Structure 1
Amino acid sequence: MHEENRITIGFLLFDGFPMACLTSVIEPLRAANEIAGKQAFGWVLVSERGQKVQSSAGVGFEAALALTGCKDIDILFLLSSPTSGFADPRTGNGALRGFGRHGTVLGGISGGVFPLVRSGAMVDQPVSVHWCYEAAFEAEFPDIDARSEVIVRTDTRWTAAGAAAGFDLALHLISDRLGSEIAHEVACWFQHPMMRGAGVRQKVPDTTAPGSGDQLPPLVARSVELFAGHLSEPISIAEVAGQMRVTPRQIERAFKQATGQSPSHYYRSMRMKAARQMVMYTKDPIAQIAVAVGYSSVTPLVSHYKAAFGLSPAEDRRRINRFRVEDNAPLPSI
């Protein structure tokens, strides 16, 4: 900390970063300063070379500092898409590791956890990974402790899964620095219903029948958990039923009623979504992706992928790469 114990937060921006992740942290801190009547928090925009950065919405942001010129920053959050990286990885990654060694708290919000982990600054550290990026993250970083909580916070590393989680993280900072009453008032200013913390899992969209709500029945929810744990080594419906101590027919009926789909089709949809994450956010060969989502060969993956998305995995990847090159734009990030 420095002048008047003000906490200074740097936001390291990469092209394609989601604006919401930036404003969702800065705005509650600004409000806290106003409510407290003092500059308890300060912030600065940082980029690799001090260059202008473009958000995923195409809005440009002027950075005040280059990464290597940062001084007196207490917390440095990385904001990016999953595919973002340094133009000079050796220098950029070394700078991040250096900040971490000298006491700066390092963090990443949403896709920002990818370049943060790539830097080598998260060895033996748990990471909050947005559900939209889980399969791609696991494929690139199989040895990292990836968690589904909205916030994962240790003494020196803070990560959050998305813009709303970034707001929650800001509320925790406010509570730590200025007390829970001011944090609560800030939340009320923005009609933020609650401050989520460690151990709160992300809300993940479920395919439910119209009018059925967003809560899956326990039998279906537990089956989905088993499916999610067996993407690379598929589990049969009979095996799921055996673990649940029910009959396969009971699971069939429960899925039809809750989701309008059979459990096998629901399971396939989960595997295809995981495959698409890897097609979009990794450079893994299609054959390797097929194995990662439980196929012994590429042919059935291609068939099911085309049925789900209208393109083969290779065609989808070419489309994505063409979009990046022609439009000079990253994929939308969360």
Structure 2
Amino acid sequence: MRTENRIEIGFLLFDGFPMACLTSVIEPLRAANEIAGQEAFCWSLVSEKGQKVQSSAGVGFEAERSLAECKDIGILFLLSSPTSVFDDPSFGNGVLRSLGRHGAVLGGISAGVFPLVRSGVMQGHPVSVHWCYEAAFKAEFPDMDARSEVIVRTASRTTVSGAAAGFDLALHLIQDRLGGDVAHEVACWFQHPMMRGAGVRQQVPSSNAPGTGDSLPPLVSRCVELFAGRLSQPISIAEVAQNMKVTPRQIERAFKQATGQSPSHYYRSMRMKAARQMVVYTKDPIPEIALAVGYGSVAPLVTHYRAAFGLSPSEDRRRINRFRVEDNAPLPSV
């Protein structure tokens, strides 16, 4: 198999990384090499010190090189949990910044954007953030340009929202290097129906109610978008109705029909999901989290949080921290 002008890709793995995000990029690249009859892409598994890494599924991966051995890498993707950090942040972040200065393309897949942004290499670059990490990401990085697109690429930075988006990214790399015909054949090999690109937004669960489909009616969708922009400064349903130029009763009916919930309960659920992201994935004090989701004090947050999740924010955080320390259990990652 010919190897001229091959692209070398490193996958920097942290404990708790989502395994699907790794295989969803490697497998289409492997298929592209077979179809094209050349080693257009090669890859290696990287860890901070070359140590073995455990995925979120508990599967161990042997690293093939340490981060210090990546000076000649062309592309480096970070895969991690949202809380992942380098054992030696000064060294690890310094290597990433050096790679960026010397022309390597740096990227993050799913929660890998968290250590990527912490390193300082994403200043001035937009970031694709998975919807389930959005509140936690914005709480930690309020000045970053966080986007809901499945893939966000610039000339030197690439971020994608999750495993399926990682497959789309691999198809783009294949198209860039080997052409659209090979990319299309790879997609057909894996029965991947389409290659999503820039500007395609993530699909987000619209409701806990079954049978609502992938999209909400226009009125409900516009209301949800307004709710999402007002998590820290809640808006009344009457104000929403005035903004939409309809009556509160019309909004009530539309939400009940589309989601099985009242708009106020749907709105509260959005705020609770955002609160839980910050409880689980940040170290922000509970009073600050309460303010971030529109509560003037902790007490009503605790009441609503317990109703939604069966325990208080503090109890939830203690449970997660106990897993981290005692069981070394990985946090949920996608």
Q: Is the 8 A contact 2:160 2:169 kept in 1?
A: yes
Partner of 1:176: 176
Equivalent position SS for 1:77: strand
| Paired residues for 1:242-257 under 5 Å | 242-257=242-257
Q: In structure 1, how many angstroms separate the alpha carbons of the residues matched to 2:213 and 2:169?
A: 28
Look up the SS of the partner of 2:42 in the other structure: strand
1:155 matched residue in structure 2: 155
Find the residue that maps to 2:124 and give its secondary structure. Answer: coil
> Can you give the 5+ residue segments of structure 1 that lack an aligned partner in the other structure?
none
- Which of 210-219 and 187-196 deviates more? 210-219
Shift of 1:211: 3.1
How far is the alpha carbon of 1:14 from its aligned partner?
Answer: 0.2
Alignment check: 8 A CA contact 1:86 1:92 kept? yes
- Describe the superposition over 1:272-330 as per-residue Cα deviations: whole angstroms up to 9, x where unpaired: 00000000000000000000000011010000000000000000000011111121122
AA aligned to 1:160 is V
Give the conservation status (yes or no) of the 8 Å contact 1:18–1:333. yes
- For each residue in 1:22-76, what CA deviation from the matched residue of structure 2 results, as whole angstroms up to 9, or x when unmatched? 0000000000000000000000000000000000011000001110111321000
Change over 3 Å in CA distance of 1:209–1:330 after alignment to 2:
closer
Q: 1:212: how far off?
A: 3.5
List aligned pairs for 1:212-291, cutoff 5 A.
Answer: 212-291=212-291
Task: Give secondary structure in 2 for the equivalent of 1:187.
Answer: helix
CA distance in 2, matches of 1:208, 1:64: 43
Residues 228 and 270 of structure 1 are in contact (CA less than 8 Å); yes or no, is this contact kept in structure 2?
A: yes
Instruction: Tell me if the contact between 1:208 and 1:216 (Cα under 8 Å) persists in the aligned partners.
Output: no
Residue type of the partner of 2:49?
Answer: R
Q: Report the Cα distance in structure 2 between the residues aligned to 1:103 and 1:326, rounded to whole angstroms.
A: 41
Please show how residues 1-334 of structure 1 align to structure 2 within 5 Å: 4-207=4-207, 209-334=209-334
Q: 1:34/1:223 Cα in 2 relative to 1: closer, same or farther (>3 Å)?
A: same
TM-score (norm 1): 0.98
Contact preservation (8 Å) 2:203, 2:214: no
AA partner of residue 236 (structure 2): S
Q: After TM superposition, give the deviation of residue 208 of structure 1 in Å.
A: 6.0
Cα distance in 2 for residues equivalent to 1:210 and 1:163: 24
Q: Please tell me whether the aligned partners of residues 10 and 45 of structure 2 are also in contact (alpha carbons under 8 angstroms).
A: yes
TM-score by length of 2: 0.98
Deviation at 1:214, TM superposition (A): 2.6
Q: Give the drift of 1:209.
A: 4.2
How many residues are paired up?
332
Could you tell me how far apart the structure 1 residues matched to 2:332 and 2:218 are?
33
- SS of 2:143's partner is coil
Task: Give unpaired runs (5+ residues) of structure 2.
Answer: none
* SS of residue matched to 2:10: strand
Aligned equivalents of 1:190, 1:287: Cα separation in 2: 48
Q: Distance in 1 between matches of 2:253 and 2:280?
A: 34
Provide the rounded CA distance (Å) in 2 between the counterparts of 1:212 and 1:37. Answer: 45
Helix, strand or coil for the counterpart of 1:233?
coil
Alignment RMSD (CA, Å): 0.8
Q: Aligned partners of 1:176 and 1:93: how far apart in 2?
A: 29
Q: Deviations over 1:129-154 (max 9, x none)?
A: 00000000000000000000000000
Structure 2: how far apart are the matches of 1:142 and 1:183? 37
Name the SS for the 1:12 alignment partner: strand
1:58 is matched by which residue type in structure 2? G
Distance in 2, matches of 1:302 and 1:193, equals 44
Instruction: Give the letter for the 1:49 counterpart.
Output: K
* Matches of 1:99 and 1:260, distance apart in 2: 51
Which SS does the other structure have where 2:4 is aligned?
A: helix
Contact 1:81 1:331 in 2 (8 A): yes
Amino acid at match of 1:122: M
Distance 1:277 1:208, change over 3 A: closer
Moved segments of 4+, more than 4 Å: none
- The 8 Å contact of residues 208 and 214 in structure 1, kept in 2 or not, is answered as no
